[in-house]
Structures are given as C-alpha cells and as structure tokens.
Amino acid sequence: MTEAQYPADEVQPAQPSQGTEEQSLEVRVKAMLEGTQPFDREAIRDYVLRTEQERETYRKLSERDPLTGAYNRRKFEHDLEATAHKADRIHFDFSLIYIDLDFLKQINDGPGNHADGDTALRTVTGVAHKMLRDYDSDHLYRIGGDEFAIILEGTDLSQGVAIAERLKQAINEAKLSVSMGVSNYKGVADSTIGLVQSADRALYKAKEQGRNKVVAAEPLLD
C-alpha cells in the first residue's frame, strides 16, 4: 500500500532537522536585512542569541589543548599577565609551577607508540585537574609537548612547593614520573618574565638532579 492510500490523518509529515531549522532562520534573517521579508523581532533575537552562543563555544575551544583538554599556551600567557596585574592591584602572591613529564620520548618509542604517550599526557592532566579542585583552581595549561604549567593564586613559595609535592605524589601513584620547578610572584620574581625564567630554571635543576623531583626557585641575579 502506498502512502497515498493511507487516510490523511495517518500520514505523518516529515520533521525538519535542526540543521534545516538553523538554515531556515539564517535565510529568513538575510531576507529581512535585504528588505524582502517583514521584520521579525523574535527571529532576529533567536539568530543573535544562537550566533553569540556559537562564538562563545568557538572562543572556549580555541583556549584548549585538543589532546588533553587543558588550557593552551596562548591562554597561559594571557592569564599569567592578568594574574600579575591583579596581584599588583590588590597585593597578593601567587605561585607558578612548571611540570615536565619525564621520559615521554621513551614512552612514545614503546610498544604502544604515541598512543601510550597521549595516554600519559591525559593522565597527568586528569590527576592535576582532580587535585586542583581542592584549591578552587582551574589554571592548568599545556604549554609544550611534555610541559604543563599551573598558576596558584594566593600562595607563597612554600605553599606552592607543598602543592607541587602533593601533585607529584599523585602522579607517581599513576606510575608516571614528573619533574617540577616552583616559583613565586613577589616572593621570588617581580615580573612575569622573571617568574617564568625562575620556574624554568628550577625545573631544569629538578631534571639535573635525577628527575621526579620538586625544586623551589631562587631569586634571579641581576
């Protein structure tokens, strides 16, 4: 029996897909702007709201590392400057932790190849995110192939080192090794350039000392 043989009340009209609805809305708004269709305030509002939501989604995605979901380097550089300006304005310290996943090359060269390396990077991210929730912080960034950074507001150097030690232990429990360098804004460096340099030097010392260590930064010499 063909569709035409069914009673009219049993023939179900095709439902437009979401993509068709969105396209229809865009076409209607374009027609309004061209003056070929009456102005519809509600349609304009819906179109603007949808466009703003899409723009915000794209903005958020552009700030994330696609592999791990951590913030990316560009977001780190922006947030570091913003945090320093805030610290100068209302007078508080903050710590910067640099993290290097040890032996990533060997992990990548193992039986699982890069899949194992990707898993290791995601594991570091997952452990760090879980622990940082205890400190009401979402400032975790992947800034290089095997490097991460964490910004911890309202902590002095000793507090930053203690948190780094706790994080290292948690990552070690996941059977991974990490080296960390910890610096502090105002406590060690009075500029973001000095802060990054001192954290990087502390990280280098941790690797020099055999890896899987946390090293506190020392003030940079002029």
CA distances from 201 to 21, 36, 76, 99 (A): 56, 65, 18, 12
Q: Cα(50)–Cα(38) distance, rounded to whole angstroms? A: 21
**pLDDT value at 207 more than 90:** yes
**CA 81 vs CA 75, 124, 140, 178, 200: distances in Å:** 10, 25, 15, 26, 17
Helical packing angle, 73-90 and 192-208, nearest 10°: 120
Q: What is the Cα–Cα distance from 158 to 204, expressed in whole angstroms?
A: 19
Please determine, for residue 9, whether its predicted confidence score (pLDDT) is greater than 60: no
pLDDT one-digit tens code per residue, 83-97: 999 999 999 999 999
Residue 37 confidence (pLDDT) above 60? yes
Among the listed ranges 43-57, 97-111, 123-137, 149-163, which one has the minimum average pLDDT value?
43-57
* Choices 1.10.443.10, 3.30.1330.180, 1.10.3720.10, 3.30.70.270: CATH for 73-216: 3.30.70.270
Q: Output phi, psi for 35, to 5 deg.
A: 80, 15
DSSP secondary structure string for all residues of 54-71: HHHHHHHHHTB-TTT-SB
**Domain boundaries defined on the chain:** 3-62, 73-216
Q: For residues 146 and 105, give the distance between their C-alpha atoms in angstroms, rounded to a whole number.
A: 9
Q: Could you give the angle at the alpha carbon of 141 between the alpha carbons of 109 and 131, nearest 5°?
A: 95
- pLDDT over threshold 50, residue 2: no
